[in-house]
Amino acid sequence: MRRTLLLFMSLAAAATAADLKWSQLPPLPDERGFAGSFAGVSGGSLIVAGGTHFIDKMPWEGGTKLWYDTVFALNKPDGPWRVLGKLPKPNGYGVSITTPDGLVIVGGGNATEHFREVFWLDNNVALAPLPKPCAFMAGCVLDDVIYIAGGIETPAATSALNTFWSLHLKKLGAQWQELPPCPGKPRILSCMAAANGAVHLFSGAALKPGPDGKPEREWLNDAWAYKPDTGWQKLPDMPRVAVAAPNPAPVVDGKILIIGGDDGANANFEPKSKHPGFPRDVLVFDLKSQSWSRAGEVPFSLVTTNAVLWNDQIVIPGGEARPGVRSPQVWSASLRLKP
């Protein structure tokens, strides 16, 4: 596992965002696909676990949203998906963290509650539970420390958690630490990346109660960096909002890639059945110049999903293609220069 990650890093140093060539891996073995799944690498295999989809009608038609517990594994890029097992319970919209020692599942929830549980997927060994139940947060790992930002405590919450937590994976008996929260607004569905000794936090949506008592979103395009020794720093604002972009954001050749994400422009699009999908352009944050640019488009529109580094590729496994509609497609970008 550690050798795979080191090889990925060496290849990444030779590529740029515009050089990524996207192709499809075998689709997930469910014709509807899933959003809000956990995904990562365990034992050398690509893992996709849990998530949700609608089984009868779309959400605006009163459809039923189901949560799943199935764990799928893909051993090699041209192989078949297989069922590896099940999560302890149906779960979605938490954080999954790939480490050299395995895959960590953090929080999540279902239709009625959110969870505190944190565990290694490989052997179901529990880690310290989150300080509060949490889903729809963002997370990444930096120097063997998991960082979790924001989210909501309950499914019906009308405000996001103003929280920033860390857990050291190498300290025996470690508990979650409550760190100074991001100076920006509390948020859900942001995107994070670890690079250059810092945790980066991008976009997301703040929440407030609407006239009907249900949560309303405020779309955010701010960007922040946190270093353990110096705290938070404001970064230049993003060119656009990118809510629920694949997380954690890949880092390629000294650049953080925000792949797609919902910009909110079509949040009230009608008819909902004809929604055009989410933005496909890739936003690039250059770590050296601390500036933003764009680097082409991807051939898919997928949010509430993950970006996984596997077999020298960036993999985007499933997600939400447009409101209410999931996708079983699995896309990958090889880190090889175009000829």
Spatial neighbors of 102 by CB under 8 A, at least 6 apart, are: 1, 42, 43, 120, 121, 122, 123
Which residue segment(s) compose the domain that 41 sits in?
A: 2-334
The count of structural domains within the chain is 1
Residue 333, H or E segment: strand 325-334
Is 84 among the domain residues?
Answer: yes
Is 256 among the domain residues?
Answer: yes
Is 194 among the domain residues?
Answer: yes
Percentage, residues of the chain above pLDDT 70: 93
pLDDT digits (tens, 9 = 90+) for 32-67: 999 999 999 999 999 999 999 998 888 889 899 999
Spatial neighbors of 307 by CB under 8 A, at least 6 apart, are: 246, 247, 248, 249, 250, 259, 314, 315, 316
Q: What is the residue type of 89? A: K
Residue 83, H or E segment: strand 81-86
pLDDT digits (tens, 9 = 90+) for 114-165: 999 999 999 989 999 999 999 999 999 999 999 999 999 999 999 999 999 9
Q: How confident is the model at residue 257 (pLDDT cuts 50, 70, 90)?
A: very high
Q: How confident is the model at residue 253 (pLDDT cuts 50, 70, 90)?
A: confident
Is 57 among the domain residues?
Answer: yes
Is 339 among the domain residues?
Answer: no
Distance between CA 119 and CA 106 in Å, rounded?
7
Over its C-alpha atoms, the chain yields an Rg (Å, rounded) of 18
Is 312 among the domain residues?
Answer: yes
Is residue 243 within 8 A of residue 262, CB to CB? The reply is yes
Q: pTM for the complete prediction?
A: 0.93
Is 43 among the domain residues?
Answer: yes
CA neighbor of 315 nearest in space, from 69, 15, 77: 77
Is residue 190 within 8 A of residue 180, CB to CB? The reply is no
pLDDT at 57: 87
CATH number of the CATH domain containing 193: 2.120.10.80
Is 226 among the domain residues?
Answer: yes
According to DSSP, the residues that pair with 114 across neighbouring strands are 109
Distance between CA 283 and CA 275 in Å, rounded?
22
